[in-house]
Structure 1
C-alpha cells in the first residue's frame, strides 16, 4: 500500500476513534444543568480554530489535491511513529473522559454537581485532555507529510489552548478556591514534572 494512502487511512481512523470516544460522554452531559458558562462567543471562535487545524485542513489534504504542492518525502518510520502517537492520544483522551465523567464539557462550563477531579490521569496533570489534543496534533504533524496540513493541528489547537487556559484556570479557582490552589501546587498543567 502507498505510504500516503496509509497515512490518510490512519489519520481518518484516528479522527473517527476520537469521535466515537467522545459521543457517549456528549450524550450523558447534555442532561446536566450548567450553572456557570463563560465566554460563549469566544469559545465558539477558539473551537473553530481547533477544528480547522485538526479536522478541516487535514481532511482537505486527505480528500483533494489542494495542498499537494506542499507534500514532502515520507518514510515508513514517520508512518509508524505518527500512528503510535495517535494511539497514545486516543488512550489518554479516553482516560480523561472516563475520569471526568459528568464533569466534562466542550466549553468553559461548571455543572450543578461539578466536582474537582484529582484522581486517575488527573493525579498527574491538571489538563490531561489538552495533553491528549496536543498529542493528536503532534501525531498529525508526524503522520501527514505536508507542510500545511501536518502542522495545522498544532497551530489550530495551540490557539485554542493559548487563549483558553488562563480563563479555565480562573474559573476553576472561582469555583473550587483553595482546593484548586492546593491541587495546582502539586500538579503540572500538561506534562508531569515539566509543565
Structure 2
C-alpha cells in the first residue's frame, strides 16, 4: 500500500533537511579543526560534555532516520506508528524545519570563528550580540527545538516523541551549562546580557545594545 504523497513528501523534506543540517555541522567542525586544531569541541574535553554527546548522538540519528523511513513505511509497528493524525499539517511542519535551517545558517555565519559545539573550560571565545543574538541568548538552540517540535507534529509516533523530548531536554541542559561557563569566562559582560535578553525566547523586541 502506498502512503499518500501529501504525507510522505513533507516527511522526506524534513528528514532530508535535518540530515543536511547535521552534515553542515560536521563540515564546520572539520573546517574549524583545520583552522585551529580543534573541531569546535565536537567531542568536548570535559567528561560531562562527552557523556552528553553519547546520549545525544542516537537522538540525532533518529531525528534523521525516522521521518525518512516513515515516508516509505505504510504499516509500521506500534512504536513507529503515529498516535494521532494532524491532517494537512505536514507541509507547514516541513516549511518550519526548512526555515529553521536557513535562519540557523545565518546564526552560524554571525558566530564565525566563535562557533562551538561544546564547552572547553580552558577556552574563551568572543561574545556575539548581533543578529538574532540581540534578541535571544541561544537562538541556535531555540531554532533546533522549534525544528524538533515541527518534526514531532508531522510524525507523532512514540519513537519520535521520545527522541524529541530527549533532544529538547538535552538542549535545555546544555544551554544551562554554557550559561555557567560564559558567566565564569566573561563575568559582568555576560551577566548584563542575561538581564536584558531571554535565554531561548525574546524578552523584548528592542535589540540588545540599544537604549
Give the TM-score category using the shorter length: 0.7 to 0.9
User: What is aligned with 1:32?
Assistant: 36
TM-score (structure 1 length as normaliser): 0.81
TM-score (structure 2 length as normaliser): 0.76
Per-residue deviation at 1:100? Answer: 1.0
After superposition, the Cα gap between the structure-2 partners of 1:169 and 1:186, relative to the gap in structure 1 and judged at 3 Å, is: same
Q: How many residues align?
A: 192
User: What is aligned with 2:82?
Assistant: 70
Is the CA contact 1:97–1:104 (under 8 Å) kept in the aligned structure 2?
yes
After superposition, the Cα gap between the structure-2 partners of 1:175 and 1:134, relative to the gap in structure 1 and judged at 3 Å, is: same
User: What is aligned with 1:109?
Assistant: 120
User: What is aligned with 2:191?
Assistant: 181
Highest relative contact order (Cα 8 Å, sep 6+), 1 or 2? 1
After superposition, the Cα gap between the structure-2 partners of 1:121 and 1:149, relative to the gap in structure 1 and judged at 3 Å, is: same
Superposition map of 1:7-86 within 5 A: 7-30=10-33, 31-32=35-36, 37-38=45-46, 39-48=48-57, 50-51=59-60, 54-62=63-71, 64=73, 65-66=76-77, 67-70=79-82, 72-76=84-88, 78-86=89-97
Residue 99 of structure 1 is aligned with which of 106, 110, 116? 110
Cα deviation per residue 1:133-175 (whole Å; 9 max; x = unaligned)?
Answer: 111111102222x332443453121221232222111111111
Compare 14-23 and 160-169 and name the one that shifted more: 14-23
CA RMSD of aligned residues (A): 2.9
SS of residue in 2 equivalent to 1:43:
helix
